[in-house]
Structure 1
Amino acid sequence: FGTVEVVAYVANSTTLWCLAPPLAEIDLGALAPADVHVQLSFDLGNSYSPILAAFSYVEDFVVDALSPDMAVSGGGTLILIIGSKFTDSPALGCKFGNETAPATFISSQVMQCTTPPLMVGVHPFKMTLDGVEYFDTGKSVTTLPPSTLLSLYPTRGYFSGGTEILVNGTNLVNSVLLQCQFGQAPLAAKDWFDSEHVQCTAPPCDVAMGGQSRGQECEGTVQVMLSFNGLDFFGNLTYEYVRRQRIVDVLPFPAGRWDEPMNVTLLGTGLSPPVYCRWLDLEVTPALEVGISTDPSTPADSYAICTAPALPEERRLVGGVETDGRLGYLEVSANSIDFTSDRTQWFFYSPPA
């Protein structure tokens, strides 16, 4: 190597191997990248082959980060290696623990590797320039056990988005890259509670459906998935976007005795099963029946039959004195969580003596 002699070892009849000396030993003032000539001697250095081969010294790779640094155990996760002083080479490669994979040079600051199948656990990450010598980067990749999504609640919400969804599954990992995807819209998860529960916020329907602006007319179902690394998504749950619900009228009238429940018909728009009803802040109850309204004399396109509750005795008092009635309000919801805020009036009245 230049003027420095090292011992060569015979591997077989066609292969020798040598341990390359440090560049500074060849030329104290040399800086990588640098090429040196390599010659062979078969008589203890008395003579050398006339053919000059070139051996290249490059700067030591600096690996600052892996993105992501988590992968699925089955393999196939694309890992970006971010750093500096990277050099391309035909034998460029990565090693995850004991498993190797080819690397792709992108620039002097970015390379990428795709993980092979790995055991669940933490795998030290190494790199090689020549496919033989691997150096430790000080980084590692964590492979995760198989995860599944079982259910979500609620399963539907309004087209405007914003509904908080609780996703139930198994082996759900807490990660800074934890993401939920609704249709074509990936977004950061709102919260990780434990290995079985993650909270997501549904994006607007237009975004989940691909960005075409349809406003309040946007409705339909999308696939819901999770990812721990922002790349590998899994799951096949379904979330439904529905129109905003409105109450147009209450039949037979928006009032009832406060001492007993009664069934009323709510005429409205956008009412599709299931519909949930709530008077004041009392118990939420599902509608008994939901259907299409065909009455041309009203702007309503749908109806729901709900049971108006009795008003608790303590709510009938004003200043400790029972009154003749109390004005309240009622709202409806498509998922028992997101209620309308129209405050449709309802009067609880004292029954006649």
Structure 2
Amino acid sequence: MEGNLTVTIYKCNRMAVTILDGESKPTCGMCLIVDQSYGCSWCPPLNDCLSPMDANTCPTNELLEQGNTCPNPTITSFFPTSGHVSGGTRIAINGYNLGFVPSDITTVSVAGISCTDSEYNSPQLVYCTTRSILQILSGKVVVQFSNNQFLPALSEQTFSYVRPRVLSVYPTRGPRSGGTRLVIRGTKLDSGLTRTVMMSTAPCVPGDGYSCKIEENNSDEIICRTGSANVTDNLLLSVNFDLGCEYNGDTFAYLGDPIVDSFDRLSAIASGGLDLPILGESFDIIQTARLEVRIGSDTVSGDCSNCSDSTMKLICKSPNISVAQTDYPLLLPTSNLSLYMDGVTRYINFGMFFPGSLETAFEFVEDPVYYILPSAENIIKVPNEFQGQYNITIEGDNLTLASNSEDVSVIIGGKACFVSNLFINYLICQPPKLSEGVHQVQVQHGNLNFVVGHVEYLGPDQTLALPILIIVILSCALTVVLLCFCLLVLYNLKATNRSLSVLHTYYYRDSRQKSRKTGMDDDNVSDHTNCSQDMDYLSIGSTAATDAQPPTLPERTRATELFQLKSKVSTDIGKSSSKEEDRSGPDISLDTGKEQQLPLHPKRNMSRVNEKTHESDRKQQRPTTSEEDDEYSKRIYNDHSVSTPVDKLNEDAAAKSLTQVEEEKQ
């Protein structure tokens, strides 16, 4: 079969759409400008564009074909909505059914002022350029058509002829290389279609001066970026609004570019964020800067802040190079660093302009590490009365490899904890005054953040409980010490009483036995009797003291005198019984346990007549039987059944002596 057959499938209402209120709808104007080969027609009652096969659905005599005029021309919007009174603003008018050819439109007016020229684009778009007027005015946009049977298209919006005002410009200076961000404030600064900012020796001279590229614009503000200039001078700033121009006499000064001399610091941690002071000149005219580091094929950067605070010093943050796969410490020549300052490109490569940069190395070290607080449950308690005086120690590692105390911030409860000292493995900070409760402790070291625990600020009631607890503990300890001391004193008194009792028993029985065999004069008997009574008195007094209080100094003195008196009596007894001495055997010393010979009695040679004279008196004074002595000894020993090792020795000595006396009786 010869020839090619082309089949086109179409639908007229899809080819005549217009965006109305955010929706795609067919319109008369777009329908009647479709290629005639398709045979599309507009049906006003159906408000639709019909294909030839659907034309019979429209009522008779209502169908509009190409060549006819569409009814109801409409303006939906226009832009801009305001312009300078000097004119020159080109307005774009949007709508539908705005004619089929340019000759269909006769005039376009804005606020009753006809445009200098109008331009037909399509049934949906018409352009108009405003003319200059002498007054501020506002009104609607109107489009007139050559076919008088249709009413003109009238906008719902209004257009305003305005006179903008420039009020201020900041900053007023910048580097000659440009890049300064200017902020211009005023009123109605968004008027017109095109706006330009110029800096020149004379204001509002077209094509003269240096432009500032607009980046943001609204009714109250224009933000632009200055370009480079080949002069260092004060220039007038003006703003053009289409054919209009406004200025208030503000100037902008182009100054010489800043100069970099050296780095004040040549080390940083791998994660960056430390302050790197850069020394030089004219840094105060710089608004923004950043420092870049090249490590092989990787490039990392750190922003500079507070750049305008100093003329001679630029503070930049060290870049974070931890993303680069490398070992630490890492030494880089300063030629691997680049500094960007506004539009200044001089220091993109330090190797060309920075003296000694090729020989100077910049060091990156391993990141510091901080450890969890060692307190119970990671909570440190701060007493209320010690707020502002209590120091906190936070342990870590690698803290001072490239840092000092100014590089570290400790935050407690949203407030700074003053870092007073920083060492290689710990820091000390003084916590701020905060309200009662538990607050988080956070350490910021460059770009690193660590949560190391919590601090609990105690209230007045809680801090009062601590000293009370200490007082109670100390009181209890003191009471125990005093009780132990009293028990020790009582124990010693009882031991002394037992010793005196045993000693009394021994001497008493020994003297009585020897008195019966050897005989004594009245003086010796009287001394012995007094001694025995004193010993009994001392024994009773000691027992009472044991139950009441320690012996006083007079009592101890009395005891010493009694011992001395007893020694004298024993000496007298020994001298009067020299014969019995050989039979009775050696005496045992209570102090040393050694055998000693008793001394002779001084009245051994007394007359036998005196002995016989006093014999009867002595017999009347001493007990008639030895059972009384045995009973007395049992009573003494029963009262002091518990004895110490020393008491036991005394008791053994006394028992041994008594045994010898009994043998002599037999």
Question: Rg: which structure is higher?
Answer: 2
Q: Answer 1 or 2: higher relative contact order, Cα 8 Å, separation at least 6.
A: 1
Normalised by the length of structure 1, the TM-score is 0.44
Specify which structure has the higher proportion of strand: 1
